[in-house]
With several copies, the nearest count.
Chain A
Amino acid sequence: MRDKRANLRDVVTSVPDGASIALGGNTLHRAPCAFVHELVRQQKHSLTVIKTAASYDVDLLAGTGCIARAEVAFVGFENVFGLAPRYRRAIETGQLQLKEHACYTVISGLRASAQGVPFMPVAGMFGSDVVAKSDFRTIEDPFTGHPVVAVPALRPDVAVVHVQEADAEGNARIYGTRFEDALIAQAAQRVIITCERIVDGSVLATRPELTAIPGYLVEAVVEAPRGAWPLSCADEYDYDHEFLAAYIRAAQDDAVYAAFVEQHVLAPTVAA
């Protein structure tokens, strides 16, 4: 397979405004934040973000106006810092359009896409107002006639996953929880891997069972040390509590927030 190593700037440049992007990780953990920061630096707009449970990554994209639409099930900083301030604001002011999901309907939509079918039946969901609000449909099982909720295929234009190790072909090894990272890579039209370090393929060949995403699904692989910062990366680093605390404080005021983003995100030293 060809060498797919690329630099972050070029890879992000290749993502058009208006694209739908599925992000890896979950809440405060292993989201591709270096990639997200570069989206902000390049002032992308009209993006759709797809994720089950997000925090800083989606809050920042909402706060900087990069995303116009979100298909998510949870955005918050858990009990560590509570509500997602800019995500909240963006929806309350109508700047961000939300298609609300349960985590499982995001998974179901991605599964439909990964399996090349137009929809996926999903268990549960009965009685939830989310079904009507998000235009899911209740259909009949063709064999028993029993009702079941159907979710349309969710096909991201781009999936971005941050992992600990990948080789030049894009084979990506994930230590610890994989979350939906393999699924979004299967469901998306393009897959971009960012990683703590590029390793030789022979390392992955010693135990291919640990490769979460096969290289033949991957378009580009970017070496981005601390690429999940300020969120955590299993076996590598914890989330940056002080930075996130400062972010939440700054987010309470528009001017302070703008200055914070300018200093910590737009400044090219952010990923250093």
Chain B
Amino acid sequence: MTVRPALPSAEQQADMMAVVLARRLRDGERVFHGVASPLPMVACLVAQRLHAPNLVYLNITGSANPVPETLPASTVDPRLLRETRSLVTLAELFDLSARGELDTVFLSGVQIDAGGRINMSAIGPYDHPKVRLPGGAGSAALMPTARRTLLWRTKHDPRTFVERVEFVTAVGNVDRVVTPLCVFKRVDGRLRVEEIYPYTTPEAVRAATGFAVDADETTPVAPPVSDTERAALDAVDPHHVRLIEFA
């Protein structure tokens, strides 16, 4: 049997997640992220340097294809306006998705369930919550209207990945869910493990997931971060802003 490896470092997890997210992006598509989205920010910029030079990188500042000098910790930061040639309001960004013209949106959830539903609202009874969460921001409007949703979450444990969320903040066209251990793909409305990362094992993924998953020795393993991917990561985010999601 496989010995569970030591928990990978935050650096390893952040790099792997950024690269795996970038790999999922397609050249020429319109991609959007909102507030609190450092990994998607890095993934978009990395993808543009590698296989997706014509990707249209949109974000909640209203800019398009910005060329930030330094990456901000806030993904609504004016630094994300640098070199943009257009600037639109939040309303126009949501409209873009509403009419089916947004190809990919990045969203996250404090809880994510086996159906790809997310909870960003409350832990415990909604009206008397144990923990009031920030709220879903754009997710309830975007998840059903964007052509696909890429969910990401930097924590992978049984309390985060649950069979059924306590409150459905948003649900919609979830395509993939990227975690520090694996990539889930939504098939017939349920999350299935598409690939696990080189630094973990099927057992570790199963143990970390609060719903039944089919990871086993036959589950594909994602290619490790390549030299060119590493170079792109270093060029885009030399100061490791992406690590802030693991603080």
Binding site for B on A (CB under 8 A): 1-2, 26-29, 52-53, 72-76, 78-80, 83-84, 87-88, 91-92, 94, 98, 100-105, 107, 111, 113-117, 122-131, 133, 167, 169, 171, 176-180, 182-183, 186, 201, 204-205, 208-209, 211, 213-217, 232, 234-235, 239
Contacts and interface: CB of A to CB of B under 8 A. Distances in A.
A192 B28 CA distance: 19
B136 A74 contact: yes
Interface stretch (B1-9, B124-132, B212-220): B124-132
A240 B169 CA distance: 31
10 contacts: A73-B138, A79-B244, A92-B132, A101-B135, A104-B91, A104-B141, A126-B144, A171-B85, A208-B63, A214-B85
Contacts, number: 229
Nearest to B86: A214
Interface of B: 28, 30, 34-36, 38, 54, 56, 58, 60-65, 73-78, 81, 83-92, 94-101, 117, 121, 126, 128-145, 167-172, 244-245, 247
Contacts of A129: 121, 126, 167-169
Contacts of B140: 102, 104-105, 124-125, 128, 130-131
Contact of A100 (B36, B97, B135): B135
Contacts of A239: 74
Given A104-B141, A127-B172, A78 B98 contact: no
Contact of A28 (B74, B86, B117, B170): B74
Contacts of B28: 2
Contact of A103 (B78, B117, B129, B141): B141
Contact of B76 (A27, A100, A101, A216): A27
Contacts of B65: 1
Contacts of A126: 144, 171-172
A67 B34 CA distance: 26
Given A124-B141, A127-B168, A128-B169, A79 B76 contact: no
